[in-house]
C-alpha cells in the first residue's frame, strides 16, 4: 500500500486563515509539504502560518482581485505542486431575497476567486508537467438546499470549472478534483448562529447537526484528511471527480 504523504511538495491554500482552509494547511504541513497560506486578513494569515511552523508561510491576497492574485503567485517560487481553492463566503437567501449586490459578492469570491487562482497557477504546472488542483465545492452544487440560491450557484460553477480543468489538462499531468462537504462546524457556523439565533445557539446547532443523517456536522480536520489523500500521489488515478463528504446527506436523507 502506498503511503499517504506530501513529502517535497509545495502547496498553496487559499482561504487558509481559518476553518477548512486552515485545517488543510495544517494537515499538509504535518505530512511533509511546504505550504503557502493565502487569505485576505494579513495579520490572521501570518498568525496561522506562525502557529503551523517553519513549513508554512503567509501572503495576504484578495482572491477577487486579478492584480492581488497575480502579485501573490509571483512571490511564490515555482513549481507549485498543489493548489487548494478554499476561499469562499456563504449567503442565506432565496431568489426573491437575494439582491444583485449579494449575487455579485458571492460570485466575486467563490467563482472569480477560484478562477483567478487556478489561472495564476496553471502555467507553472503545465511547464512542470505535473500538478494537483483541489477545489472546495459543496453539496449545494448538486442538491437543492433551501435559502441558498446564490451560494448554490457559485458552488455549481466551482464543480463545473473543476470538470473542465480536469478534461483540458489531463494530458499535461495535472489532476483536478473537488470536495463537496455538507455542513462543517467552522467559525462561520458559530457566527451565523450568534447573529441569527441569539440565546438559541445550542438548539439551532442541534438542528443543523441532525440535518445530516449521521447525526452531526463534519469537522475541518475530516475534510483536511480527505484533501491530503486526494492531493497525494496515492490518489494519482483520480481526476475529474466531485467527492461528497456529507454524513449521508446526499443519499440517505
Q: What is the pLDDT of residues 15-62, one digit of tens each?
A: 999 999 999 999 999 999 999 999 999 999 999 999 999 999 999 999
User: Do 131 and 125 meet the contact criterion of CB atoms below 8 Å apart?
Assistant: yes
Residue whose C-alpha is closest to residue 76's, from 39, 118, 48, 38: 38
pLDDT computed for residue 207 by the predictor = 87
For the domain bounded by 10-182+219-244, which CATH number is listed?
Answer: 3.40.50.720
Tell me the pLDDT tens digit for each residue of 179-234: 999 999 988 888 878 887 889 988 888 988 888 999 999 999 999 999 999 999 99
Q: Is 197 in the active site? A: no
Q: Catalytic pick from 107, 115, 151, 197?
A: 151
Q: Which residue spans of the chain are classified as CATH 3.40.50.720?
A: 10-182+219-244
User: Do 64 and 53 meet the contact criterion of CB atoms below 8 Å apart?
Assistant: no
Amino acid at each position: 500500500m502506498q503511503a499517504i504523504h506530501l513529502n517535497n511538495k509545495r502547496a498553496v491554500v487559499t482561504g487558509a486563515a481559518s476553518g477548512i482552509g486552515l485545517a488543510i494547511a495544517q494537515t499538509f504541513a504535518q505530512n511533509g509539504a511546504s505550504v503557502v497560506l493565502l487569505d485576505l486578513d494579513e495579520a490572521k494569515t501570518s498568525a496561522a502560518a506562525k502557529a503551523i511552523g517553519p513549513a508554512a508561510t503567509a501572503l495576504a491576497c484578495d482572491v477577487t482581485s486579478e492584480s492581488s492574485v497575480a502579485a501573490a503567485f509571483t512571490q511564490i517560487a515555482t513549481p507549485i505542486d498543489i493548489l487548494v481553492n478554499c476561499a469562499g463566503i456563504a449567503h442565506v437567501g432565496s431568489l426573491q431575497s437575494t439582491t444583485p449586490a449579494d449575487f455579485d459578492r458571492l460570485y466575486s469570491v467563490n467563482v472569480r476567486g477560484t478562477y483567478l487562482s487556478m489561472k495564476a497557477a496553471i502555467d507553472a504546472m503545465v511547464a512542470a508537467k505535473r500538478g494537483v488542483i483541489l477545489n472546495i465545492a459543496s453539496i449545494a452544487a448538486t442538491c437543492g438546499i433551501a435559502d441558498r440560491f446564490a451560494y448554490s450557484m457559485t458552488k455549481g460553477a466551482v464543480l463545473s470549472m473543476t470538470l473542465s480543468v480536469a478534461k483540458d489538462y489531463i494530458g499535461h499531468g495535472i489532476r483536478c478534483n473537488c470536495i463537496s462537504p455538507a455542513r462543517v462546524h467552522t467559525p462561520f457556523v458559530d457566527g451565523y448562529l450568534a447573529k441569527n439565533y441569539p440565546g438559541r445557539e445550542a438548539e439551532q446547532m442541534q438542528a443543523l447537526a441532525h440535518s445530516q443523517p449521521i447525526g452531526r456536522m463534519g469537522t475541518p480536520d475530516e475534510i483536511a484528511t480527505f484533501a491530503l489523500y486526494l492531493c497525494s500521489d496515492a490518489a494519482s488515478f483520480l481526476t475529474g471527480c466531485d467527492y461528497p463528504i456529507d454524513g449521508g446527506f446526499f443519499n440517505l436523507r
